[in-house]
Amino acid sequence: MRLFAGLLAGQSFDSELTGDESLTKRPMGRVADPLRLMGATIDTAEGGRPPLKIHGGAPLKGIHYDMPMASAQVKSCLLLAGLYAEGETRVREPAPTRDHTERMLNGFGYPVSREGDTCWLQGGGKLTAGPIDVPSDISSATFFLVAAAITPGSDITLEHVGINPTRIGVINILKLMGADLTLENEREVGGEPVADIRIRYAPLKGIDIPVDQVPLAIDEFPALFIAAANAHGTTRLRGAEELRVKESDRIQAMADGLAVLGVEHTVVEDGIDIIGNGNDSVPSYGGGRIDSLGDHRIAMAFAIASLRASDEIVIDDCANVATSFPDFVALAQRIGMGVSVEGANGV
């Protein structure tokens, strides 16, 4: 929705963007406000929420925008609007965010420049078509990386996974925790670096997660919380307040689930401390019934948690897993996990 807002703001026709229950709770003022600075006419629902009503035909002018918080979606939205704007659109980010849009535009022959924390483009250029190879998604791969990292005897290779430098926080964090993880067959495809990732079981230890890795792993934290619950010692996360405005408040949703399993933890406003109970020979925690709040990453994280639980874990409200990762259950079964789907919404 945030990317389309940028694309549609520069068109001559009116558009309305809406979404499901989860999406209609997401804050859209963070794209609507800078688009209005560019000259777009956009109406939102109360609190800057969807639906977004975009009135076409407004001439856009390039702006220099300092993003108040790091967001690849906001940056990409403004760059896409900048294609249709007069003059230069320049975006400065307070911390590094994923750069797939810049790489894609350059790949289509539309120059996007970058220096330090700022990227920019000129409006009115041309895109040239070309083939696209979409590598496997590291956010989806993460669930299987953590599954192997916490399960004695595991040895899994995930093929053709994108290892864009703005996305590899999960690899760096798992390595800091002691994971036996190697990158093999590294290459570049369509402007994006890819590799096969091999991960074998090794005992994990709790760490203080470096703040500079947080934006590089923001979507991977639900799974990393499960890694932390299976590590020896305490893992501390700070600087992750963005997790509270994802499909759910992911800090609280994960904390509530960890509490059900009996994992010791302390929640703070911008993070969490998780006291792991890693031990090869005994389960790390108990079982129980988890409410995923309709958040696919929460559901998949607790499915992975079942590998080291002493009892069954039942996860409610899982329909969204089929939307974001349709093959998750089949792949989990293929590597030997005991996952089954009950009814329409449970795992």
Which residues, in sequence order, are bridge partners of residue 54? Answer: 15, 42
Q: Are strands 88-92 and 64-66 parallel, antiparallel or unpaired?
A: parallel
Residue 284 and residue 302 in contact, taking contact as beta carbons nearer than 8 Å: no
User: Over the chain, what is the mean pLDDT?
Assistant: 94
Measured between alpha carbons, how far is 92 from 70 in angstroms, rounded to an integer? 9
Q: State residue 217 phi and psi, 5-degree precision.
A: -140, 20
Confidence of residue 114 (pLDDT cuts 50, 70, 90): very high
What is the side-by-side strand order in the sheet with 113-115? 64-66, 88-92, 118-122, 113-115
69 and 7 in a single domain? The answer is yes
pLDDT of 341 reads 87
Question: Is residue 317 a part of any domain in this protein?
Answer: yes
Parent domain of 48? 2-122
148 and 112 in a single domain? The answer is no
142 and 116 in a single domain? The answer is no
Measured between alpha carbons, how far is 221 from 42 in angstroms, rounded to an integer? 33
143 and 244 in a single domain? The answer is yes
Task: Specify the residue for token string 């988890």.
Answer: 290
pLDDT of 119 reads 97
64 and 34 in a single domain? The answer is yes
151 and 286 in a single domain? The answer is yes
Residue at which a domain ends, from 122, 147, 168: 122
pLDDT digits (tens, 9 = 90+) for 190-209: 778 999 999 999 999 999 99
Question: Is residue 341 a part of any domain in this protein?
Answer: no
Report the pLDDT averaged over residues 156-178.
96
Question: Is residue 14 a part of any domain in this protein?
Answer: yes
pLDDT of 168 reads 94
Whole-prediction pTM value? 0.83
Measured between alpha carbons, how far is 320 from 20 in angstroms, rounded to an integer? 11
**Among residues of the chain, what percentage have pLDDT more than 90?**
83
pLDDT of 320 reads 86
Highest mean pLDDT, choosing among 140-144, 317-321, 333-337:
140-144
* 3 state DSSP class of 29: helix
pLDDT digits (tens, 9 = 90+) for 53-79: 999 999 999 999 999 988 999 999 999
pLDDT of 215 reads 86
Q: What angle do CA 45, 97, 159 make, to 5 degrees?
A: 110
216 and 115 in a single domain? The answer is no
DSSP 3-state helix, strand, coil percentages of the chain (rounded to 5)? 35, 25, 40
Question: Is residue 52 a part of any domain in this protein?
Answer: yes
Residue at which a domain ends, from 91, 122, 153: 122
Measured between alpha carbons, how far is 284 from 180 in angstroms, rounded to an integer? 20
Confidence of residue 346 (pLDDT cuts 50, 70, 90): low
pLDDT of 246 reads 81
Measured between alpha carbons, how far is 341 from 347 in angstroms, rounded to an integer? 4
Confidence of residue 247 (pLDDT cuts 50, 70, 90): confident
85 and 148 in a single domain? The answer is no
194 and 317 in a single domain? The answer is yes
**Among residues of the chain, what percentage have pLDDT more than 70?**
99
Residue at which a domain ends, from 87, 122, 157: 122
117 and 154 in a single domain? The answer is no
162 and 102 in a single domain? The answer is no
Question: Is residue 241 a part of any domain in this protein?
Answer: yes
Q: Given a cut of 80, is residue 347 above it in pLDDT?
A: no
Question: Is residue 255 a part of any domain in this protein?
Answer: yes
pLDDT of 99 reads 93
The count of domains in the chain is: 2
Measured between alpha carbons, how far is 48 from 79 in angstroms, rounded to an integer? 21
Report the pLDDT averaged over residues 315-335.
91
pLDDT of 261 reads 98
Question: Is residue 340 a part of any domain in this protein?
Answer: no
99 and 163 in a single domain? The answer is no
74: CATH? 3.65.10.10
Confidence of residue 40 (pLDDT cuts 50, 70, 90): very high
Q: Provide the Cα torsion 242, 275, 144, 338; round to 10°.
A: -120
* 3 state DSSP class of 268: strand
pLDDT digits (tens, 9 = 90+) for 206-240: 999 999 999 889 999 999 999 999 999 999 999 99
Question: Is residue 168 a part of any domain in this protein?
Answer: yes
Measured between alpha carbons, how far is 25 from 56 in angstroms, rounded to an integer? 24
Which residues, in sequence order, are bridge partners of residue 158? Answer: 197
Helix H or strand E encompassing 174: helix 169-176
Catalytic residues: 219
